[in-house]
Amino acid sequence: MARIGLVVNPAAGRDIRRLTGGASVTDNYAKRRVAECVLSGLNVTDDPPSVTIMPDRSGISDHLIDEASKTVDVEALDIPITQSAEDTQRAGERFREEADCIVVLGGDGTTRDMALECGDVPLVSVATGTNTVVPTAIDGTVAGAAAALLATGCVSLDETTIDHGMVEAVADTTNGEKRLKGLATLGVLDVEFVGTRAILDAESVVGGVVSRAFPSEIGLSGLAGALATHRPEEPGGVGFRLGPADETSQTVRAITVPGVVDRFGVSEWRELDSEESMTFELSSGVLSIDGERELELQNSIVEIRPVDDGPRLVDIERVFAAGTAEGVFTEDSTRFHEER
């Protein structure tokens, strides 16, 4: 039987940007309802896949198991719960071997944590977090149906998925080499501490590299998108370096967080080939990954480059178009009446 891996991140969509910007709150009840819809969507196929869900301490996974319909078999993944990114990464390791498709409910960080470990297993990413550049804002039923069609082989994997790029940073520090990997963005910030992790002040951004760029996206990928369009399945990315807006020859406006538009001075930017890097020298600063401050640095040289080893993301529209072309949503009415 086909199997779906399901991750619902209880911590996604609840950071300080709900107070400082216009980001909406996604509480655990809302996430549970979306996950229930995912399970319902699996019934688009005659023989729905079984589901293995990442456990959590908020009660979401327990509720989904207790309330699952008789047509869908749902069980918890047997892993320890740490209430950290390690849970998602550990689930990704297991799903890489055991799942035919994975559905993730969260933001860019949750999707990245899964992508780091899940290998080539197709990934349906549903937006329930703060930074939602990569996840898609879709109904859970649609997400579940798409996952079921892929997991059961009703549609072609190669025709309905894209290989998303990533971004890698290598920091040469006094304490040795540090490596970090982002899904959509890696940024360099002129701040001293990680703090609340959220990027709140546009003036703190020194520069960065993104694996995708489009002006309607929020954060650094939207900033880069004001300079050049780069689709997520294209190799390479875009790198940029900022400066004071009144001292640079070029400025751009971009949406930094929901509800906030900022103006940036651009001192340098270029489209990067895969593995081509931009270098930043920091006396002190912080590296951000996918919209969150992650690593404090002192007297460091940082090289950031796009890489082509990202996850296989599901294109929902392509899945349903392929399903229609294959006739998976229809059945012979004569047979239906004979069965009755």
Query: How confident is the model over 134-187, as pLDDT tens digits?
Result: 999 999 999 999 999 999 999 999 999 999 999 999 998 777 898 999 999 999
Residue 13 confidence (pLDDT): 47
pLDDT cut 90: percent of the chain above it:
75
Please state at what angle helix 28-41 crosses helix 60-67, rounded to 10 degrees: 40
Which residues have CB under 8 Å from 299's CB, separation 6+? 173, 174, 282, 283, 284
Residue 16 confidence (pLDDT): 44
Distance CA 321, CA 323 (A): 5
Structure tokens at 217: 């996206």
Integer CA distances (angstroms), 35 to 102, 164, 266, in order:
13, 24, 42
pLDDT higher than 60, residue 236: yes
Distance CA 285, CA 298 (A): 7
In the chain, the domains with their CATH numbers are 3-163+311-339 (3.40.50), 166-307 (2.60.200)
DSSP 93-158: HHHHHH-SEEEEEE-HHHHHHHHTTSTTS-EEEEE-SS--SSSB---HHHHHHHHHHHHTTSS-HH
Structure tokens at 178: 């540090």
Closest CA to 310 of 186, 205, 219, 222: 186
DSSP state of 174: T
DSSP state of 246: T
When the pLDDT of each residue in the chain is averaged and rounded to a whole number, the result is 90
Predicted confidence (pLDDT) per residue in 189-205, tens digit = 998 766 555 655 677 89
Please give the distance of CA 200 from its chain centroid, rounded to a whole number. 20
12 compared with 111, residue with greater pLDDT: 111
Residue 14 confidence (pLDDT): 47
This prediction has a pTM of 0.90
Distance CA 156, CA 139 (A): 22
